């Protein structure tokens, strides 16, 4: 496994729309393993392949990681098949938008279909943090960052804060 660098906004590669995985093979499984390692190294709970420069429709997630356990989940070619009209608000952050946390409204519950790392099809019903995280990571597959859900003012403030942090890091 390899730890890969995670792209940060405003890198234009984060705006790429990811392509479907045609075959779940050894190369896809290696990419998944690299993504899981990269996510753990960055202390994240979710990562889309596009965030490490691979615009493929793959997501990894581990919501148990926050409790010190490891239970990685893999979602290949995920598709939301149903969304509740009920809205939930969670404070979101993103490995590609470091140090920025903002409230984002999303569907409270979803149903989705996806392939696992063996190419088997699954369906999932999700609510709470799992529903929020799936929607957040699936946005990445469409080239959308969580800050794109914010008002124009909040988004520009977040991007300015990011650029300032980057300048300080590069200078230091």
When the candidates are 2.40.50.140, 1.20.1440.230, 3.90.45.10, 3.30.565.10, the CATH number that belongs to 12-171 is 3.90.45.10
**Edge-to-edge order in the sheet of strand 58-61:** 46-48, 58-61, 73-83, 109-115, 121-127
Separation of alpha carbons 76 and 59, rounded Å = 6
Per-residue model confidence as pLDDT tens for the chain (172 residues):
699 999 998 899 999 999 999 999 999 999 999 999 999 999 999 999 999 999 999 999 999 876 778 999 999 999 999 999 999 999 999 999 988 899 999 999 999 999 999 999 999 999 999 999 999 999 999 999 999 998 888 888 888 888 887 777 778 6
At residue 159, the pLDDT reads 81
b or e along 99-117 (b: 16 or more beta carbons within 10 Å of the residue's beta carbon)?
Answer: ebebebebbbbbebebbeb
pTM of the predicted protein model: 0.92
Q: Which residues participate in catalysis according to the annotation?
A: 137
**pLDDT on residue 150:** 87
């Amino acid at each position: 496994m390899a730890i890969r660098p995670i792209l940060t906004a405003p890198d234009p590669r984060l705006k790429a729309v990811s392509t479907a995985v045609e075959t779940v093979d050894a190369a896809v499984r290696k990419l998944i393993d690299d993504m899981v390692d990269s996510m753990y190294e960055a202390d994240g709970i979710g990562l889309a392949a596009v965030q490490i420069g691979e615009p493929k429709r793959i997501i990894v997630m581990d919501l148990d990681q926050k409790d010190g356990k490891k239970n990685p989940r893999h979602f290949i070619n995920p598709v939301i098949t149903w969304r509740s009209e009920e809205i939930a608000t969670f404070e979101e952050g993103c490995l590609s938008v470091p140090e920025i946390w903002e409230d984002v409204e999303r569907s409270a519950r979803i149903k989705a279909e996806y392939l696992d790392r063996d190419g088997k099809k699954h369906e999932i019903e999700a609510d709470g943090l799992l529903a929020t995280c799936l929607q957040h990571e699936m946005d990445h597959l469409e080239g959308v960052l969580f800050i794109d859900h914010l008002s124009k003012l909040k988004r520009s403030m977040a991007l300015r804060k990011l650029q300032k942090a980057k300048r300080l890091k590069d200078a230091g």
